[in-house]
Amino acid sequence: MGYELRVVRESPLAFAELAKAIAPAGFELRGSEEIVIGHGGGMHPVARWQGQLVGEPGSDWQVAQLLRLATALGARLVGEDGEVYVLRDGLIEVAQAGSVVEIGKFEEIVNAGPAAWSP
How big is the chain, counted in residues? 119
Among candidate residues 70, 61, 54, the one with its CA nearest the CA of residue 3: 54
DSSP state of 59: S
Chunked mean pLDDT (size 10), the chain, 119 residues? 85 84 90 91 92 91 94 93 95 94 94 77
> Looking at this protein, which amino acid is placed at residue 9?
R
pTM for the model stands at 0.91
pLDDT of res. 118: 57
Alpha-carbon gap, residue 65 to 53, rounded angstroms: 12
Kindly give, in sequence order, each residue whose CB lies less than 8 Å from that of residue 45, ignoring residues fewer than 6 positions away.
Answer: 30, 34, 35, 36
